[in-house]
Structure 1
């Protein structure tokens, strides 16, 4: 009896909270001057930080699953946007509990699926020079960055890392836990660390 009551309360709490996630995300986006289209749907809380020079444009039908109750695949984290450059997310994109860190330029095309706990970075964050790394201001200024382009209809498996300067071709598939360090042609499957060619689709 206690178990049934507990599960009923948990379900009711989940339903009530789910009604708030999308309105709260819209408010957060508006406060950060993020342009977004219709059909935004959010399950879970999002973390968003956009600087004064940052610009985010999101198309229609973005679906976000964020947090342990809405993306139950382990290594949980919230969906996170940290934008100092230009981030474009086009239409019909689905993303689960991932982090997009945009210091320069990231574009995500139409109909892209991004698996849970994926990270997309367009910067190295730090210098490779140890002397510069000991000087925070110089370290940050000397970090290399390059744009990331994820074309239409790409599928990125969970726990993958997409690094700076990468273009992923239309319809490509990235296997789970991959580290993408170089360009991937259209309609090919790549996986591994670093990601390597598997086969054509």
Structure 2
């Protein structure tokens, strides 16, 4: 029994290693330092574009045309769905609708420096703006502004990440050009108005972060 257990353990490890290698070769575009759990399911890897320093947590399910930027982190049990199954067809059971073309696929864009929490679901056609944080168990059906904290069963912005002044300083430190910085700040403020959200609080954990490092 012990030998059988060891054999099965080795077999499973080899299976997932081979699965990961096949997926990596099938992905349309991969940047440097990409990490994901081979237990995750990527249905259409040839429609997946991935930037540098991207991490996808365990047990993800991805079935979408998706472009992922640089420095993006995703928690466990992420679900990304880029299309809808056909329904409401006379004379057909929904279970047996098989169109010739891919079904209602809408591309998803995840910009740079995003953190997506555990058990988040993303639907087709959305863009998550650079620098945003998506809270655990959120359901994203509408595009979200850059540098915002967003949560909810219909995910929406609840806080800015940095005030406009501090965001400008942050992006300058990261080396972005002034026109790109202005574009991000103006876009955030405009997109917040489309949510009928104004004057929300901003969060800045800079001092807390450096204090924790000093305590070590």
The TM-score with structure 1 as length reference comes to 0.65
Q: Aligned partners of 1:18, 1:128: CA distance in 2, in Å?
A: 38
Match of 1:170 in 2: 130
Contact (CA 8 Å) 2:23, 2:45: kept in 1 or not? no
User: How has the CA–CA distance of structure 1 residues 20 and 163 changed in structure 2, closer, same or farther, with 3 Å as cutoff?
Assistant: same
The answer to whether the 8 A contact 2:116-2:135 is kept is: yes
Q: Give me the CA root mean square deviation.
A: 3.1
SS state of the match for residue 29, structure 2? strand
Answer whether contact 2:86 2:97 (CA < 8 A) is retained: no
Distance, in Å, in 2 between the alignment partners of 1:135 and 1:177 is 31
Task: Tell me the matched-pair count.
Answer: 154
Structure with a larger share of its residues in strand: 1
> Does the 8 Å contact 1:58/1:91 carry over to 2?
yes
Structure 2 unaligned spans of 5+: 162-216
Q: 1:166 to 1:19 in 2, by over 3 A?
A: same
Q: Are the counterparts in 1 of residues 132 and 147 from structure 2 also a CA contact under 8 Å?
A: yes
User: Comparing both structures, which one devotes a greater share of its residues to helix?
Assistant: 2
Unaligned regions of 5+ residues in structure 1, if any?
1-9, 36-55, 67-77
Report the TM-score, using the length of structure 2 for normalisation: 0.61
Determine if the alignment matches structure 1 residue 180 to structure 2 residue 172.
Answer: no
User: Equivalences for 1:1-201 in 2 at 5 Å?
Assistant: 24-25=18-19, 27-29=21-23, 33-34=25-26, 56-65=28-37, 78-83=39-44, 86-96=47-57, 97-102=59-64, 105-124=65-84, 126-129=85-88, 131=90, 133=94, 135-138=96-99, 141=101, 143-201=103-161
Distance (whole Å) between structure 1 residues aligned to residue 75 and residue 15 of structure 2 = 20
